[in-house]
Structure 1
């Protein structure tokens, strides 16, 4: 029997990137996995792919969900609970980024990033945590970022949203341990996904990222998913409230330099803080 056979899992942001790879690792280990995201066509394609790779002990399902909408998150948790009548695992991987100096960041941009990254994680923990508790316990993992611990100039809303996730993880772990629910987060560095296509296309920025890594290479979705799978499984049964870097050691140095592309997009005045109040 596979290690996670008989366990149901919800993965938000499961249609692509890190979320999809986390779902893949769970499916391979026999879990019954429901992936959630906003784009139905992407979810269908991802679910079909995961079914092909299934060990046969679990199953794969999908549900459309905007994690910033509480009723949609509630429905996604219900959908993930339905196949086995219980929920045991959850991965909060839905996220969005953004680039721009703070002084010219529109409020709607700030609100949108925090709504998806921070509020989405909160709502996932709130509803999945209750379902996992009712099932007798399990584990949840949030996908944070090195940007939550090392400043990334011109990515203020994203940095704040990820730092908030890590504190949320610690509070949730402290509260839910009594119910047998473990809660942890991982902080990926530069991982080659659609979310960082701008970085990967700019040799100067990508090179600066690599210069800050003792293990000088771009990360892969496997690097992250393997750690998430460990934190969800029985091998980590005494680990909770932890935030673990998976970044080639980037957290030991400084954040990346986005100044060249930010100057090109927003101009010298915005980059240098010379913005008149509007």
Structure 2
């Protein structure tokens, strides 16, 4: 495991949505290791409890770890999480929007409910965090926010339409919010991971054909780790990136230089040839 510890963040406070596991938990771990008080938000209380225990193992001194059970799609839950995170030190300095979900299926057969849930989780959830955390960070004198976007924001992933659209929206939201809140001392950026080994993509990584299409389109041909992504998030939050805002930084082994992954075999297996060919009755 990568050695932790960078610029001291003692006295700072952060909120990480989707912080109970995966990329969000690793982002929280890096912040805690540098002395930051961190609140992790997520829907699973069990994951939050286990995540908090893991964070406390690396927390130096009296760095605080808090949890805020809730749904990133709920404005009340997000506002409450911002309040809890701000209570740790009397203000809020950082926020990471890591809550998200995927989904596979042809556009022509995607149920409206699936479309809506993916956009609400990935895009509306990020908007709600930026809205409430952005105001709190501005009131504290400035800081930084980072959204977990995706290579799918910039490169088409056939049969993952709602996910791609939601992440493209996140990238524009990042630029818009950065433009508006820069005057308040709030920097806003995104990280675009490629395929990263997490529970969210376990089925994809178990499919040799799909994974092969990922790997053959990466100049650095390997799957990513949560540490690969969290180290860049930590950079974008800290003073090391004080003149960086409104950018979406690819962390994908160079996958964005080539074409997206081939989900067609999986889509045919799950949804049938007619759906993949756009034939619906």
Distance 1:264 1:116 in 2: 26
Q: Which residue of 1 aligns with 2:3?
A: none
Unaligned runs of 5+ in 1: none
TM-score (norm 2): 0.97
In structure 1, which of residues 6, 20, 28 is the aligned counterpart of residue 11 of structure 2? 6
Partner of 1:94: 99
Name 1:247's counterpart in structure 2.
252
Structure 2 CA distance for aligned equivalents of residues 45 and 202 of structure 1: 29
Q: By how many angstroms is 1:53 displaced?
A: 1.1
**Matched residue SS, 1:61:** strand
* Residue of structure 1 in register with 2:270 after alignment: 265
Aligned-residue offset at 1:36: 0.3
CA distance in 1, matches of 2:194, 2:30: 20
Residue in 2 that maps onto 1:122: 127
Deviation at 1:85, TM superposition (A): 1.0
Deviations 1:166-204 (A, max 9, x none): 000000000000000000000000000011111111011
Q: Does 1:179 align with 2:184?
A: yes
TM-score, L = length of structure 1: 0.98
Q: Residue by residue, what CA displacement relative to the aligned partner does 1:79-130 show, whole Å, maximum 9, x if unpaired?
A: 1001111000000000011000001100000000000100000000000000
Structure 2 stretches of 5 or more lacking a match?
A: 1-5
Post-superposition offset of 1:2 = 5.4
After superposition, the CA RMSD in angstroms is 0.9
**Matches of 1:82 and 1:136 in 2, distance apart?**
16
SS of alignment partner, residue 226 of structure 1? helix
Moved more, 226-235 or 56-65: 56-65
Q: Is residue 133–residue 180 contact of structure 1 (8 Å, CA) maintained in 2?
A: yes
Aligned to 1:26: 31
CA distance in 1, matches of 2:248, 2:100: 17
Distance 2:173 2:63 in 1: 30
Matched, 1:46 2:51: yes
- Equivalent residue number for residue 207 of structure 1: 212
Partner residue of 2:114 out of 109, 123, 140: 109
Aligned equivalent of 1:195: 200
Aligned to 1:256: 261
Paired residues, number: 276
Name 1:275's counterpart in structure 2: 280
Aligned position for 1:69: 74
Name the CA distance, whole Å, in 2 between partners of 1:249 and 1:17: 21
1:16-51 per-residue CA deviation (whole Å, 9 max, x = no partner) reads: 000000000000111000000000011011001100
CA separation in 2, counterparts of 1:174 and 1:65? 29
